[in-house]
Amino acid sequence: MTNKSTIISIVATFIWAFMGGYILWDIIAGSFINSHLGIATGVPKEPDFPVLAIGCFIIAVAFNVIYKKWAGGSYSIRKAAIFGVWVGILKGFGSGIIDFATSNVLDLTGTLGNGFTYVVFFAIMGTIAGLIHKKIV
């Protein structure tokens, strides 16, 4: 797991997770998400950046470990982007719709928009990981 391409990919996807999350959910989709909040109070809140960084690092490590096993040594940008799309569907739509069914954080439109944002987020993360693993292996 700890070869050169994996370490570089973890660092790059961690940076994307931290900065890309800000770009996608705050700058691009922030007003949309905020306009579809449910009745829950205190959503969203000001981020706790050290805890956010830990979460982004965990996502980067898990994403890369699972991607490497899934790719089976055959790395491509396209394959990695598709992997990212599936992770985005799992997180964004699967978990998002379960959250919609069990909480009042987002309405259905917000849930679906947030799901799409997750698909884009993880597709880009996959593209980054695939590029690095393909070029460095």
CB within 8 Å of 39: residues ≥ 6 apart:
104
- DSSP for 100-137 reads HHH-SSB-HHHHHHHHHHHHHHHHHHHHHHHHHHHHH-
Please give the single-letter amino acid code of residue 47: P
Distance CA 40, CA 15 (A): 30
pTM value surpassing 0.85 = yes
Distance CA 84, CA 88 (A): 6
Q: What is the pLDDT along the chain (137 residues), one digit of tens a residue?
A: 468 999 999 999 999 999 999 999 999 999 999 999 988 887 778 899 999 999 999 999 999 999 999 999 899 999 999 999 999 999 999 999 999 999 999 999 999 999 999 999 999 999 999 999 988 86
